[in-house]
Structures are given as C-alpha cells and as structure tokens.
C-alpha cells in the first residue's frame, strides 16, 4: 500500500476520505497532503486532521504522492489535471471522484499511461457508511485496485464495476441517500400525524431504516422474504403494505433509478460536448 496520498480539493468528499483513511490506518497524517482553493479551508483542515494542507500547491502535492485523488468539482478537473500533468508519473494511481467524467477524458488530460480509476462514492462516507463503486482502466494492476479498495473500505463498502455501469450506480447509490431521506422524513411525518412526539418519531424512523438495512446485509435474505416475515395474516403490516402497493412505492423507486440513470447519461454527454467545444 503506498503510504502517500494527495487529495486535490479536500472539500466534503475529500475531507471525508481523509478522515476515514486516518481513522482506519490506511494512511498516516504525515502521508497525506491535501489542497483546497481558499486558505481559510486549508487552515481548517490542517487543524482538524493535522495533515499538510495548502491552498493551491496542487503540483507539489501530486508530485509527492503515490495516489493522486481528484476531489475537485468535475468542471475544475481539466484545469487541475492540466496544472499537475507534467509531475504525474506512470507509477502513480490517479483516482477521480468527479461524477460523470469518463476515465478516457481523465486519461487524455493526464497524457500518460498510468492507472486511472473513477469512483462514485456517496455522502454517508462522512459517517464511514458509504457505498462506493469503482471502475479502473487497463493500466490499473490488481495491486492498484487493492489500494483504491482500501481507501473506500475505510469509509464504507466498495465494489468494482465496468465503467458503463457508472450512470446506474450514480442513480442508485450516488443519489440514493436523498430517496431514503424522503422515506425517513415521511415515516416521521406519519408518526407525528398519529400523535407521536417529534423526538420519538425521529428516533424510531431512523433506527427502523438502519436496522432493516442491517438485517438485509447480515441475513443475506431477499428483502421480500424479510418483509414476509413481518406480515401476519389479517394483521397491521399487510394493511399498510396494501396502501404502499396501491400508491406504487416499488414502481416509483424503480422509475426514479431509471430516470436518474438517463439524467446521469445526459450529464456525461453534456460534459463531453463542453470539453470538445473547449478543445
Ligand atoms: N458530495 C457528494 O455526495 C459526491 C458524491 C459522489 C461524487 N462526488 C464528487 O466529489 C467531488 C467533490 O465534491 P464535493 O461535494 O466534495 O465538493 P466540494 O465540497 O465543493 O469540494 C471541492 C473542493 O475543491 C477545492 N478546490 C476548488 N478549486 C480548486 C483548485 N483549483 N485546486 C485545489 N482545490 C480546489 C475547494 O476548495 P475550497 O474549499 O477552498 O473552496 C473544495 O475544497 C466532485 O467531483 C463530485 O462530483 C461528490
């Protein structure tokens, strides 16, 4: 495992990765250099993590690292890679978090044959419960993939996919927390409507979602089997399930993922068109 990481653009996502890597021992504070745009944010991260953090300084950070993590916004990636291009080496791993930016574009910008991986994490990485999918180019060796896996395992679960799957991943797990927040919000509202206090309704709703997900993972059972275990004939749960089916809960979520996948595809095309126009 290379011990040196450059986090170029240590904002929400980059900061969460740094926190997770330090906590899991994937990297030591001395092995991470991070950059931001503003000095104010750099200073805050320095205080929080005790790492070497600079506003700007992308070239120095990239040059010193075994793994260069691009954690800036997708629109900033071309300028940043242009800036660090001549210090990139073929023995490095270039890991991009930029949503919708294809590996081929990052490879072209880097202009070198190095391992390039593209990751789609989601926001629960902040509490080390993220779901991340990763696609890598041909140059990435098994040991490079292992390094990338170690980074994201520090902040949740990780799986490797073909790059074509990235739009569906974006729609399912990238945006997914927003769908589940709506479910939690609605369960709380249901509790409130039935006279529960806000505090009790919130506590019960959040734990219900957490516990149900944990049971799916730990039993390995299909969710439909687990759902059936909660149902008693003529009981309370089946009357609620009837309502959910009547309003098309499952069809709605399937359509949401389908629509969001289309939207992610469109965004990729728009980014490609913009990059082509800019030459
Ligand atoms: N947030 C998510 O849920 C999520 C999920 C999947 C993928 N992603 C991807 O993760 C990436 C980062 O997203 P984010 O939400 O973490 O964004 P963010 O919080 O805005 O972080 C971006 C960081 O980049 C820094 N920056 C801007 N220009 C820079 C430059 N020229 N050199 C060095 N640093 C620079 C900013 O510095 P300042 O702090 O000084 O402004 C900021 O710290 C994006 O590409 C996004 O597509 C995010």
Q: pLDDT per residue over 39-58, tens digit each?
A: 999 999 889 999 988 888 99
The kind and range of the H/E element at 8 are: strand 5-8
Residue 277's pLDDT band (boundaries 50, 70, 90)? confident
Q: Is 155 exposed, middle or buried (0-12, 13-18, 19+ CB in 10 A)?
A: buried
The answer to whether residues 156 and 210 belong to one domain is no
How many domains is the chain partitioned into structurally? 2
Question: Average pLDDT, stretch 161-173?
Answer: 97
Question: Average pLDDT, stretch 189-215?
Answer: 98
Ligand 1 center–CA 73 separation, angstroms: 5
- What are the residues facing 235 on neighbouring strands? none
The answer to whether residues 124 and 233 belong to one domain is no
Q: Is residue 20 part of a domain?
A: yes
Domain with residue 236: its CATH number is: 1.10.3730.10
Residue 1 has pLDDT above 60, yes or no: no
Query: Which tokens is 172 given?
Result: 């399912």
Residue 279 has pLDDT above 70, yes or no: no
Beta strand 130-136 with 115-120 is antiparallel
Residue 60 has pLDDT above 70, yes or no: yes
Please give the residue range of the domain that contains residue 99: 5-166
Residue 105's pLDDT band (boundaries 50, 70, 90)? very high
Please tell me the predicted confidence (pLDDT) of residue 217.
Answer: 97
Residue 244's pLDDT band (boundaries 50, 70, 90)? very high
3-state class (DSSP) for residue 39: helix
Q: Is residue 140 part of a domain?
A: yes
Name which of 78, 80, 103 is nearest 10 in CA terms: 80
The pTM of this model reads 0.93
Residue 2 has pLDDT above 70, yes or no: no
User: What does DSSP assign to residue 71?
Assistant: -
pLDDT over 70, % of the chain: 99
Boundary of a domain, candidates 114, 134, 166: 166
For the chain, what is the mean pLDDT? 95
Cβ neighbours around 224 below 10 Å, total: 7
Mutate to test the pocket of ligand 1, among 8, 19, 36 (most ligand atoms within 8 A of CB): 36
Question: Average pLDDT, stretch 23-41?
Answer: 94
Name which of 96, 108, 89 is nearest 134 in CA terms: 96
Please tell me the predicted confidence (pLDDT) of residue 272.
Answer: 81
Is residue 156 within 8 A of residue 131, CB to CB? The reply is: yes
The answer to whether residues 195 and 243 belong to one domain is yes
Q: 3-state SS of 13-28?
A: HHHHHHHHHHHHCCCC
191 CB within 6 A, ligand 1: no
The answer to whether residues 51 and 18 belong to one domain is yes
The answer to whether residues 179 and 229 belong to one domain is yes
> For 50, left (φ over 0), alpha (ψ -120 to 50), or beta?
left
């Amino acid at each position: 495992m290379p011990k040196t990481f450059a986090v170029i653009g240590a904002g929400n996502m980059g900061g969460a990765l740094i926190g997770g890597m330090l906590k899991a021992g994937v990297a030591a504070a001395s092995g991470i250099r991070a950059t931001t745009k503003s000095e104010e944010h750099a200073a805050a991260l320095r205080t929080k993590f005790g790492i070497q953090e600079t506003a700007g300084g992308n070239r120095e950070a990239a040059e010193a690292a075994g793994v260069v993590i691009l954690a800036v916004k997708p629109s900033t990636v071309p300028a940043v890679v242009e800036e660090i291009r001549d210090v990139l080496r073929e023995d490095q791993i270039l890991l991009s978090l930029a949503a919708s930016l294809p590996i081929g574009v990052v490879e072209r910008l880097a202009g070198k044959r190095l391992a390039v991986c593209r990751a789609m994490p989601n926001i629960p990485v902040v509490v080390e419960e993220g779901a991340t999918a990763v696609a890598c180019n041909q140059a990435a060796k098994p040991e490079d993939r292992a390094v990338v896996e170690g980074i994201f395992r520090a902040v949740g679960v990780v799986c490797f996919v073909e790059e074509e799957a990235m739009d569906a991943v974006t729609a399912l797990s990238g945006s997914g927390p927003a769908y589940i927040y709506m479910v939690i919000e609605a369960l709380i509202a249901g509790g409130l409507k039935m006279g529960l206090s806000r505090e009790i309704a919130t506590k019960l709703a959040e734990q219900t979602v957490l516990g149900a997900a944990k049971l799916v993972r730990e039993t390995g059972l299909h969710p439909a089997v687990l759902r059936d275990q909660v149902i008693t004939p003529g009981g309370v749960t089946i009357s609620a399930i009837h309502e959910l089916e009547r309003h098309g809960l499952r069809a709605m979520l399937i359509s949401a993922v389908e629509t969001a996948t289309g939207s992610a595809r469109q965004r990729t095309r728009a980014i490609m068109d913009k990059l082509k126009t800019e030459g």
